[in-house]
Amino acid sequence: QLQLVQSGAAVKKPGASVRVSCKASGYDFTNYCIHWVRQAPGQGLDWLGFINPRDNSRIYAQKFQGRVTMTMDTSTKTVFMDLSSLRPDDTAVYFCGRDIGDYYGADVWGQGTTVTVSS
């Protein structure tokens, strides 16, 4: 069925990098962009950007440019989100979401991946 399945939780030290994966199934992977959104503990939703599997184009949120990289593997229908130079305030649950067609909304979401940054 239509779903996005994310990789498991990660614990990183400040200054390190983290990779979170999002594997799609149940639909035509190349027809929909994939967004990344994060949520710090007790906080709201924060958009990181999206990648378009059709042409490998990406749009990153201004506040994350230079630290975030989104890539994909079309053979496994998997999207990756790398975040570098991690800080304690990057501790959050990271979600991937399938674009609804307007390049900012998402209709199907992954289960979330907890990333903890601590020394």
Partner 1 sequence: QSVLTQPPSVSGAPGQRVTISCTGSWSNLGGGFDVHWYQQFPGAAPKLLIYGNRNRPSGVPDRFSGSKADTSASLTIIGLQPEDEAVYFCQSNDRSLNGAVFGGGTKLTVL
Q: Is 93 helix (H, G, I), strand (E, B) or coil?
A: strand
42 three-class SS: coil
**Would you say 92 and 38 are in contact if contact means Cβ atoms under 8 Å apart?**
yes
Residue from 13, 45, 73, 82 that binds partner 1 (CB under 8 A)?
A: 45
Using CB under 8 A as the binding rule, whether residue 40 contacts partner 1 is answered as: no
The single residue among 10, 61, 84, 91 that binds partner 1, judged by CB under 8 A, is 61
Decide if 60 contacts 81 (C-beta within 8 A). Answer: no
Minimal CA–CA distance to 95: which of 86, 87, 106?
106
Shortest CB 83 distance to partner 1, Å: 16
Q: Among 61, 38, 60, 64, which Cα is nearest to 51's?
A: 60
Q: Is 109 in the site for partner 1 (CB under 8 A)?
A: yes
CB 22 → partner 1: shortest distance, Å?
12
Closer by beta carbon to partner 1, 15 or else 105 = 105
119 touches partner 1 (CB under 8 A) = no
What residues line the site for partner 1 (CB under 8 A)?
Answer: 35, 37, 44-47, 49, 59-62, 95, 97, 100, 102-107, 109-112
